[in-house]
Amino acid sequence: MRAYRVYAIQKGTVIDHISGGCALKVIQILKLDEFNQVVTVGMNLESKKMVRKDIVKIENKTLTKDELNRIALISPKATINIIKNHKVVEKFRVEVPDMMENLINCPNPKCITRNEPVMSKFKKISEKPLTVKCHYCEKAFSEFKII
Ligand SMILES: Nc1ncnc2c1ncn2[C@@H]1O[C@H](COP(=O)(O)OP(=O)(O)OP(=O)(O)O)[C@@H](O)[C@H]1O
Ligand SMILES: [Mg+2]
Ligand SMILES: [Zn+2]
Protein backbone atom coordinates (compact mmCIF):
# COMPACT_ATOMS: atom_id res chain seq x y z
CA MET A 1 0.00 0.00 0.00
CA ARG A 2 1.22 3.54 -0.79
CA ALA A 3 2.09 5.98 1.96
CA TYR A 4 -0.16 9.04 1.97
CA ARG A 5 0.75 12.54 3.07
CA VAL A 6 -2.59 12.72 4.87
CA TYR A 7 -3.56 9.42 6.47
CA ALA A 8 -5.64 6.81 4.66
CA ILE A 9 -9.31 6.40 5.42
CA GLN A 10 -11.44 3.28 5.31
CA LYS A 11 -14.53 4.96 3.89
CA GLY A 12 -15.50 8.47 2.85
CA THR A 13 -14.66 11.19 0.35
CA VAL A 14 -11.29 12.60 -0.73
CA ILE A 15 -11.34 15.99 -2.43
CA ASP A 16 -8.05 16.17 -4.31
CA HIS A 17 -6.40 18.80 -6.55
CA ILE A 18 -7.90 21.72 -4.65
CA SER A 19 -6.12 24.94 -5.68
CA GLY A 20 -3.27 25.59 -3.23
CA GLY A 21 -4.50 27.47 -0.17
CA CYS A 22 -8.24 26.94 -0.83
CA ALA A 23 -8.91 23.96 1.48
CA LEU A 24 -10.43 26.02 4.28
CA LYS A 25 -12.81 27.70 1.85
CA VAL A 26 -13.86 24.24 0.59
CA ILE A 27 -14.52 23.13 4.17
CA GLN A 28 -16.58 26.26 4.75
CA ILE A 29 -18.64 25.91 1.57
CA LEU A 30 -19.41 22.27 2.37
CA LYS A 31 -20.18 23.29 5.97
CA LEU A 32 -17.95 20.50 7.26
CA ASP A 33 -16.93 22.65 10.21
CA GLU A 34 -20.54 22.83 11.43
CA PHE A 35 -21.01 19.10 12.01
CA ASN A 36 -19.21 16.55 14.12
CA GLN A 37 -17.36 15.51 11.03
CA VAL A 38 -13.88 13.98 10.99
CA VAL A 39 -11.92 15.91 8.37
CA THR A 40 -8.18 15.87 7.66
CA VAL A 41 -6.56 18.56 5.57
CA GLY A 42 -3.29 18.86 3.66
CA MET A 43 -2.29 22.26 2.35
CA ASN A 44 0.24 23.39 -0.25
CA LEU A 45 1.36 19.86 -1.06
CA GLU A 46 3.55 19.21 -4.08
CA SER A 47 1.72 17.84 -7.13
CA LYS A 48 2.64 16.70 -10.63
CA LYS A 49 -0.46 18.31 -12.13
CA MET A 50 -0.46 21.62 -10.25
CA VAL A 51 1.98 24.01 -8.65
CA ARG A 52 0.61 23.37 -5.17
CA LYS A 53 -2.48 21.51 -4.14
CA ASP A 54 -4.65 21.13 -1.09
CA ILE A 55 -6.48 17.96 -0.16
CA VAL A 56 -9.47 17.38 2.13
CA LYS A 57 -10.45 13.94 3.41
CA ILE A 58 -13.88 13.45 4.92
CA GLU A 59 -14.44 10.25 6.86
CA ASN A 60 -17.57 8.11 6.62
CA LYS A 61 -19.50 10.63 4.61
CA THR A 62 -20.58 10.80 1.00
CA LEU A 63 -21.85 14.16 -0.12
CA THR A 64 -24.24 14.58 -3.03
CA LYS A 65 -22.88 15.69 -6.43
CA ASP A 66 -24.82 18.95 -6.02
CA GLU A 67 -23.11 19.68 -2.71
CA LEU A 68 -19.68 18.81 -4.10
CA ASN A 69 -20.17 20.81 -7.29
CA ARG A 70 -20.44 24.01 -5.23
CA ILE A 71 -16.67 23.91 -4.79
CA ALA A 72 -16.12 24.13 -8.58
CA LEU A 73 -16.45 27.89 -8.19
CA ILE A 74 -13.31 28.14 -6.09
CA SER A 75 -11.45 25.04 -7.28
CA PRO A 76 -12.45 24.09 -10.83
CA LYS A 77 -9.77 21.38 -11.04
CA ALA A 78 -10.84 19.54 -7.89
CA THR A 79 -11.31 15.79 -8.22
CA ILE A 80 -13.63 13.80 -6.02
CA ASN A 81 -12.64 10.30 -4.97
CA ILE A 82 -15.16 8.09 -3.20
CA ILE A 83 -13.38 5.64 -0.90
CA LYS A 84 -14.78 2.28 0.16
CA ASN A 85 -12.75 -0.47 1.84
CA HIS A 86 -9.66 1.78 1.62
CA LYS A 87 -9.95 1.95 -2.19
CA VAL A 88 -11.02 4.60 -4.70
CA VAL A 89 -14.29 3.21 -6.12
CA GLU A 90 -15.41 6.34 -7.98
CA LYS A 91 -13.61 9.42 -9.30
CA PHE A 92 -15.00 12.53 -10.98
CA ARG A 93 -14.26 16.20 -11.65
CA VAL A 94 -16.46 18.89 -10.13
CA GLU A 95 -18.57 21.03 -12.48
CA VAL A 96 -20.03 24.48 -11.91
CA PRO A 97 -23.77 23.90 -11.22
CA ASP A 98 -26.38 25.41 -13.57
CA MET A 99 -28.18 27.05 -10.63
CA MET A 100 -26.57 28.26 -7.44
CA GLU A 101 -28.50 29.29 -4.34
CA ASN A 102 -26.91 31.15 -1.45
CA LEU A 103 -23.41 30.64 -2.86
CA ILE A 104 -22.51 33.89 -4.66
CA ASN A 105 -22.70 37.39 -3.27
CA CYS A 106 -24.34 39.63 -5.89
CA PRO A 107 -21.76 42.31 -6.86
CA ASN A 108 -24.55 44.81 -7.60
CA PRO A 109 -24.91 46.93 -4.43
CA LYS A 110 -28.49 47.86 -5.44
CA CYS A 111 -29.61 44.24 -5.75
CA ILE A 112 -32.40 43.19 -3.38
CA THR A 113 -30.22 40.32 -2.12
CA ARG A 114 -27.74 42.90 -0.81
CA ASN A 115 -30.40 44.88 1.03
CA GLU A 116 -33.05 42.45 2.20
CA PRO A 117 -32.76 39.02 3.81
CA VAL A 118 -33.17 37.22 0.49
CA MET A 119 -31.01 34.24 -0.50
CA SER A 120 -29.01 34.92 -3.64
CA LYS A 121 -29.80 32.88 -6.71
CA PHE A 122 -27.55 32.70 -9.78
CA LYS A 123 -27.70 30.91 -13.09
CA LYS A 124 -24.61 29.86 -15.04
CA ILE A 125 -24.83 31.45 -18.49
CA SER A 126 -21.40 30.63 -19.86
CA GLU A 127 -18.59 28.30 -18.91
CA LYS A 128 -15.44 29.92 -20.34
CA PRO A 129 -15.09 32.52 -19.07
CA LEU A 130 -17.40 31.57 -16.25
CA THR A 131 -20.31 34.01 -16.28
CA VAL A 132 -23.27 33.93 -13.93
CA LYS A 133 -26.50 35.91 -13.93
CA CYS A 134 -28.42 37.10 -10.87
CA HIS A 135 -32.00 35.87 -10.76
CA TYR A 136 -33.11 39.08 -8.99
CA CYS A 137 -31.33 42.05 -10.62
CA GLU A 138 -30.70 40.11 -13.87
CA LYS A 139 -27.14 41.37 -14.20
CA ALA A 140 -24.37 39.11 -15.47
CA PHE A 141 -20.96 38.86 -13.82
CA SER A 142 -17.72 37.03 -14.42
CA GLU A 143 -16.10 38.32 -11.24
CA PHE A 144 -17.83 37.79 -7.94
CA LYS A 145 -17.30 36.73 -4.36
CA ILE A 146 -18.40 33.49 -2.77
CA ILE A 147 -20.64 33.92 0.29
N1 LIG B 1 -7.90 4.91 1.36
C2 LIG B 1 -7.58 6.17 1.13
N3 LIG B 1 -7.60 7.05 2.15
C4 LIG B 1 -7.31 8.33 1.97
N5 LIG B 1 -6.96 8.88 0.81
C6 LIG B 1 -6.90 8.07 -0.27
C7 LIG B 1 -7.21 6.67 -0.16
N8 LIG B 1 -7.08 6.13 -1.41
C9 LIG B 1 -6.71 7.14 -2.23
N10 LIG B 1 -6.60 8.31 -1.55
C11 LIG B 1 -6.24 9.62 -2.09
O12 LIG B 1 -7.18 9.91 -3.11
C13 LIG B 1 -6.53 10.54 -4.22
C14 LIG B 1 -6.76 9.71 -5.47
O15 LIG B 1 -6.17 8.43 -5.31
P16 LIG B 1 -5.60 7.62 -6.53
O17 LIG B 1 -5.03 6.35 -5.99
O18 LIG B 1 -6.66 7.54 -7.58
O19 LIG B 1 -4.40 8.55 -6.92
P20 LIG B 1 -3.89 9.08 -8.32
O21 LIG B 1 -3.57 7.91 -9.19
O22 LIG B 1 -2.81 10.05 -8.00
O23 LIG B 1 -5.17 9.81 -8.90
P24 LIG B 1 -5.28 11.15 -9.76
O25 LIG B 1 -4.97 10.76 -11.16
O26 LIG B 1 -6.71 11.55 -9.57
O27 LIG B 1 -4.28 12.12 -9.18
C28 LIG B 1 -5.06 10.67 -3.84
O29 LIG B 1 -4.83 11.98 -3.37
C30 LIG B 1 -4.88 9.66 -2.74
O31 LIG B 1 -3.91 10.13 -1.82
MG1 LIG C 1 -2.52 12.07 -8.01
ZN1 LIG D 1 -28.34 40.76 -8.07
One domain for residues 80 and 139: no
Share of the chain above pLDDT 90, in %: 82
Nearest CA to ligand 1 atom 31: 4
List pLDDT tens digits, range 79-114.
999 999 999 999 999 999 999 999 999 999 999 999
pLDDT band at 19 (very low <50, low <70, confident <90, very high): very high
Ligand 1, pocket residues at CB < 6 Å: 4, 8-9, 14, 16, 55, 57, 79, 81, 83, 86, 88, 91
* Single residue among 69, 93, 117 that ends a domain in this structure: 93
What CATH number is associated with residue 126?
A: 2.30.30.20
One domain for residues 62 and 46: yes
For the CA of 16, the closest atom of ligand 1 is 29
Residue 76 lies inside a defined structural domain of this protein: yes
Q: How far apart are CA 69 and CA 54, in angstroms?
A: 17
List pLDDT tens digits, range 104-147.
999 999 999 999 999 999 999 999 899 999 999 999 999 999 98
- Its domain, for residue 125, covers 99-146
What's the pLDDT at 4?
65
One domain for residues 134 and 74: no
Alpha-carbon distances, residue 44 vs 5, 33, 70, 144 (angstroms): 11, 20, 21, 24
Residue 58 lies inside a defined structural domain of this protein: yes
In this prediction, residues 9-22 reach a mean pLDDT of 96
Number of structural domains in the chain: 2
In this prediction, residues 30-59 reach a mean pLDDT of 92
One domain for residues 26 and 66: yes
